[in-house]
Amino acid sequence: MTEHSVVIVGGGPTGLMLDAELTLAGVDVAIVERRPNQELAGSRAGGLHSRTIEVFDMRGIADRFLSEGQTAQIVGFNLVRLDMSDFPTRHPYGLALFQNRIERILADWVAELGVNILRDREVTGFTQDDNGVDVEVSDGSSLRAQYVVGCDGGRSMVRKTAGIDFPGSDATTSWMLAEVETTEEPAWGLRQDQSGTHAIGKGDGGHARIVLTEREVKSGIEPSLRELSDALTEIYGTDFGVHNPIWLSRFTDMTRQAATYRDRRVLLAGDAAHVHPPIGGQGLNIGVQDAVNLGWKLGQVVKGISPPSLLDTYHAERHPVAARVLKNTMGQSVLRQTDDHTKALGDFIAELLGVDEARKRVAAEMSGLGIHYDLGEGHPLLGRRMPDLDLTTPHGSVRVFTLMHHARPVLIHFAERGDIDITPWHDRVESIDAKYEGPWELPVIGAVHAPHAVLIRPDGYVAWVGDRSTSGPGEALTKWFGSPRG
């Protein structure tokens, strides 16, 4: 039996990101992945939102994605575009880039970090005891790990085997998706009829990318070319001569969320923990961000720096984020209906989104920039993303995100250190003196007063703010990065 500190089940975007985070934390980790390589059938996610681009920037890999995709104002609510070009971030946009390319870039990065991916086999079961988890693999081998993380997608075997409830609602609508060749010029763009909204867009190499709302709810099985042809004929009066499908797929508005993200030594992340319709393109993004929230915490627990209870903050912080995404996608799927009443509601919402504050709030939520973990009362930065400021340090100029490349916590002092002494944590926390002259501005909130010091967690969220009214960072350092040493 081979031992690893952590076994990740599933090497999609969430599993790959978690793997990288654990590797950066110095943890021995293995991924078991069913697919023989990173190839993906179908296009699935079509892009990255601003906060995910920031997260990649914090690890020094944002340019790999930006150089392959197209930046654009992609945030929207019910087909209303929400321009966020005035947001205080280095990336006030989204990135149009299909999931197969996102996964390939992530897989290349993970390979550079030297990660162990056990491909072309699947995890078939596991049992956990007080000290670890025994994992059964389809090639007949077994693995032993301190922790197992299910990043194995919406039908998660890990979630089911752990007996974790997955409450929510079944599908009420399904959509057929396809990328195909056509002999006739398709009717490009959107079309609405009594069954809903349909769309035909241009894919690579002149292919048509088709999304059709189905008249009857179907799920599970992939549609056939015949079904696609029949549905097109019903909606458009012709099937445009569809042939040679690159892929055919289907998605529904099924909306469910794991009741808990942790059962003792088993954790869930990404689609294994939450499924919802892909409206708004948020699924891949929140999966990657689950991984970044969990990675450093799990790393500290397996290294004995922090107690296992630190892992409960993963559920406490990430469950509400996905719950909001479930809510906004449920709301938007209802608004996809094309009857006059729903259209009237949609028009009314569109008007409201024209109000600047509403635009900012919804865009911040959909892009992930508005995330606020409840870390208690205090300075507005507490529990929010640290902005990527241009700092001047005794060693030269540096961006805050550059300081985060190694996924280690950082304490930045903007004023005299006074009585701040982090010597007992110096093996775990970087400490740096810096000057910053510019404005402090947060999405939606606007300008905030400059702090004397900030403690930034490896996931880029502020764990403690030093200003006139706060005591030292000792309590926050112990809570997040373990007991003082020495």
The residues of the shown chain that bind ligand FAD, judged by CB under 6 A, are 9-15, 32-35, 44-46, 99, 122-123, 151-153, 157, 177, 249, 251, 270-271, 278, 281-285, 287
For 446, the token pair is 């606007």
Strand-pair partners of 150 = 9, 268
Residue 126 or residue 481: which is nearer to ligand FAD going by CB?
A: 126
Residue 12 or residue 299: which is nearer to ligand FAD going by CB?
A: 12
Residue 278 or residue 370: which is nearer to ligand FAD going by CB?
A: 278
Name residue 33's amino acid.
E
CB of 18 to ligand FAD, least distance (A): 9
What radius of gyration, in Å, describes the C-alpha atoms of the chain?
A: 23
Give CA–CA dist 277/213, Å, rounded: 13
CB of 19 to ligand FAD, least distance (A): 11
SS3 content of the chain, % helix, strand, coil (to 5): 30, 25, 40
Residue 45 or residue 310: which is nearer to ligand FAD going by CB?
A: 45
Residue 62 or residue 151: which is nearer to ligand FAD going by CB?
A: 151
Find out whether 16 and 284 touch, Cβ atoms under 8 Å: no
CB of 64 to ligand FAD, least distance (A): 18
Q: Which of 83, 99, 42 is nearest to 354 (CA)?
A: 83
Give CA–CA dist 281/285, Å, rounded: 8
The tokens 């699935």 sit on which residue? 44
Find out whether 99 and 285 touch, Cβ atoms under 8 Å: no
Give CA–CA dist 151/244, Å, rounded: 32
Find the DSSP H helices in 310-399.
Answer: 312-335, 340-353, 356-367
Residue 97 or residue 389: which is nearer to ligand FAD going by CB?
A: 97
Find the DSSP H helices in 176-266.
Answer: 225-236
CB of 40 to ligand FAD, least distance (A): 8
CB of 183 to ligand FAD, least distance (A): 25
Residue 152 or residue 227: which is nearer to ligand FAD going by CB?
A: 152
Give CA–CA dist 147/221, Å, rounded: 33
CB of 347 to ligand FAD, least distance (A): 25
CB of 10 to ligand FAD, least distance (A): 3
